[in-house]
Each structure stands twice: as structure tokens, then as C-alpha cells.
Amino acid sequence: MNFLKTLVNNIELNRFEKRYIFQYGYPAFGLPSNTVTDIFTENAFDVIYDMKTKKYQACIEPDYFPPTTKERKEYLSAILKDFTKVLTEMDYDTKEVLTFDDIFYYGANINMESDSILEIYQMFKFLVRGFSKND
């Protein structure tokens, strides 16, 4: 029985690895910020590329965040700073912002799928800045 379960899990894992490409991750609260992340590590925030849909997807895992609002704001700011650094190193223009149409006509949100990692970044930046200003 354990062999069969292991075999099925390995098949599912193989399918998962063939479909998704890990793009970016920030480790869970409590882990050092320099922790190496991948698609299987405990990440507070990550971005993957779905080869089937040819879209990028962002994922926030609230369980991996600190308990207080103040700490969450600081943590989100640290993630944004790191994500900005990574994209800047990849020669993306991180100064671009979402437009009125992106937000109110096209319904951009953190659960969105996107054609580019830059669009994911822009939405994340928009949400972090808005949440951080909220009292």
C-alpha cells in the first residue's frame, strides 16, 4: 500500500514539475530572508509560470506571515523590496505602475494570471503600498 501511494505521489509530482516553472519566492516568516526558495519550500509569496496556460501566477500564503498587522506591513515591504531587486537585476522596468483601466476595467488582483511577471509585480506593488498605508 505504501509503495502504491508513493508511486502515485511521484507521478503527480512529476506532472506538477513538468507543468510549472518556479520564478520567484520569498521564504516564510521566521526563516532567514536569504533562504534558498523553490517551488517546494515554504514561501510566503511566490510566482510560478504555468507552461500549459502560458501565464504567470502569484501566490500569497497568509499562514506564513507574522501575526500582527504592523509586522505584516513590514514583512510585505521586505518582500516587495526583494522582488523589486530581483526584477531590476533581470532588467525589468519596476517604475511602471498599473493604470486605472488595469484595476477597474480588467479586474487586476493578487489572484490574477498574467502574461508577464512584470504585471504580477505591478499588482503586488499596488496592493502592498495600499495595505501599508491603511491604518
According to the model, what pLDDT value does residue 7 have? 46
C-beta of residue 77 within 8 angstroms of C-beta of residue 132: yes
pLDDT of 126 > 60? The answer is yes
13/125: higher pLDDT: 125
Q: What distance in Å separates the CA atoms of residue 126 and residue 84, rounded to the nearest whole number? A: 13
Task: Give pLDDT tens digits for 41-84.
Answer: 889 999 999 999 999 999 889 899 999 999 999 999 999 999 99
Mean pLDDT, the chain, whole residue set = 84
Q: How far is CA 71 from CA 10, 16, 30, 77, in A?
A: 38, 33, 12, 10
Q: How confident is the model at residue 17 (pLDDT cuts 50, 70, 90)?
A: confident
Helix spans in the chain (H): 2-19, 69-89, 100-104, 117-133
Higher pLDDT, 12 or 105: 105
